[in-house]
Structure 1
């Protein structure tokens, strides 16, 4: 019987050889792809289940730490989007069942008494994964997941597909082999070679070359499509892994940023409370001195000086915080006009002189002999320099040396004004140089430091310099070797006329009629008494309706109105006063604790010509009465 099946002719032998070769090649390729697919299928499921277990472990760590079984069950309930996962559980560190989940309530799974070894296992058509829950390097529990593992179904379907492809290929090969032996053997040899390369190199970009036609061409195309499909699946798996890794990295970075922000917030609040309490203690002591030694003028003057100095410190802290908020929200505006460096430095020195003298520092100032000008806001530029000098004075031991020098740098494309502030203080560690300009960051956070702050001075100075088109950089040779802060600002050509630089507003001896309205009785009565002592005619009111009634018979040159007045708020009072014929030319100034841009706009819309933010000093009011709009706007 077997002898009859043997081909007796060359043609038959060629056909038999073609069929045998085709069968062998397809069998080898199909076997290799089946093995690879099964291996990839298993690896995919293991990686996917392990990833799911890792995610559940991460999100369930807080639930285990705080013994929150409801949160743990909610975390496990997220597995419903994966119907292949039959069951899941969370075990505590001692191996007891903490929370459980089942995909189907009809088929309640049997959970093991204790979790198995870490890793995966295939048990009776199920893939079981055990993954530890680790917190701070300590294992606090285990995640258990169980899913369907239909390997046999996969093998059957894949084998059926491959078997069908092989049978069809053999039938087609038998039909065309009689005349196209070469057209059969060559493509099959190519398929066999590519299959071998794919198995060896795991390179699914390989394709069978040539342009075969007919059934052999179909077989080659099917083989190439199969390679493309496997390659797409492998690529998708790699992309999923990369995406997961990226998400984990982003999540970890966000977590670190949140922890850092939370720590800085706590440090800032603690420092703010400390810095606000410091001035309150001497202010309270000063009040006690005034109460106990009411007749001692020397003690009273000393107490008032202390209280005034501490109050200025509190106002400075609040103003710095408001300025930072305005800059961050884009609501801080600066005036741009030619400003002389010498005038700016003079204003800055006036601001920091009390602290420098109190610390007994030696301050050396060296400025260019010729006048130097920049385009900017004199008040804000003086604030930049005073913040730098204040920082140097605070972080230099008593009796230290401070230097402020300025020169012109012509090496850049545009001429720059370079201002250096040096000290021989505590210095800055190299790793902190890039951070000292960040909000709420302080180089010295020890409890032993003699002076402290909110950590906003340098940040505010840098942002103000940037608003002027400049920069601030820091340099230090290390701890205990002092610090150098360098400000670079665009240089402005000297004005053609000295009058182009606006002179400071001088004091005026004119006497005015002033209307004061504020429900803070102590404040408004004290200001009224001081204005009367200065020779002005003053009417004091404590609510809006009283002020409107007084204005009907009192022609005021200036009206300082609180916004939060009882009976009638300051906005309505200003509109009502403007309707009175005798008050049409009155300069009205809003006095309020609200200092945002929208608050100033509401004041101007109501008819106010100026806007002062509490606490308001007597010098500010005198400056407005002297005709200074700088003090009136206080932006």
Structure 2
């Protein structure tokens, strides 16, 4: 800086031009390089992701039909892109399905499992992962690895920029030398006039303006400054007038502050709460009108620490302990305790609050506090607690009565269903005997009616069995064990599909978390859900059934999805009631008890059951089980 200060204005201007030009070129170069690097990366990544998306769409049929050869042929087309070193296609489960590697590329292992969608740059190579998504969800993943020659591109770019900067610096030096002389000549002339003014003390001298630019304005300003020096006395007088005006404004501000203090004192006197003040140690040092009016203490008795004697004796220890803590660590002080109320001659519950006034050094200078009477509120809260306790006792009694009534109703349902089986068997037996022993005596219409009787008694027997099972659920104890839900579902599905006579079913079983529950009852839940899915999708040319699960912090949620007939969501509330059906028995057989059984079983396990559907768009049935179930003895009542 000293060397720069000793140089002439002309040299300083030349140096300024050169440094400014150099700085601008460097900043521009850095910006251009950064923009090119970012744009190069964005274009290269977008190109590879587009290539991966095209490969994914082209290879989706190969994944669907398990044709690695077709997928390999698609990858082989990458030979037309020499920059791509390797590529691979993975299945939805993460297994390597097909791969490709450039002939002259160094051998490198493919990832064991694919990453999520995205890209990464490693040791001069760009790696891209892209999911293959079809109408059924994620079908697989495309992996691409390509050359990423960013370093060589940056070096070439920097070489070109260096040549441009050298040429620009030479041009800047030449132009600054020519322009410097024209710019500095008027400044030298102003300096000469200033030297003469100082030496001769002649303020009538003026510099001659020779240009219309900023230097010309500088000359005019210099001349005006000389004229202003003669007006110093006038300026000083004007400053004195402004000072007097400011003193007057300060006096008005002090008067306004005094008025504000009087208003605040009036406001304190008007509020209903007791307001009090003390010094930093909690001692009252002056008269406290509202405190004395509430407690009846005289001034001499409340000063110092005497104010504490107005509190109930059993509360003083808590007050002293809390106040000592507030003194040690100043902050908001709040405590509920009993204070003597002179008007009622009794102790009343109050809320004692105080805030410290802290100086800049951290020392408490003063405490300002309030006392709010909360006695009526406390009494009301006590009464409300007693009322709530009484209501809870009554609710418990009513719940016990309802549970007893439910048990009686379940026993009655069990007895009625059990007693109905005998007459139904008699009717079925006689109808069968009539059809066999007297078939030759019956005409076609009579034989048809006998067959109707047999079918209806069979359906009645199934209905009675379902009712018996429904009634038993209220009395049967839950034998909770840890269950492998995947194995349970596979066992139930294999048993049902062996009896299925419809079109081949496309069955998808996801990863199901283990749960705790009664094996027999939960097998019944899966049986009802899967049999419904098979029944209502049987008319589809390609039935599809999917079983999977989702979980959160409190429960496991399992679901069964089919592409069957579905149902109108307006009648969803009727799904899980007894004898509630949303389809005619002639279209889809059933008695309307199965989903009611499911609802009762899942509810007894502490879970939930619900469904989503649209007509002719399939249905999804959900049920949940808690992660931490209640003990078995509490569920078997």
**Same-fold call, TM cutoff 0.5:** no
Higher Cα Rg, which structure: 2
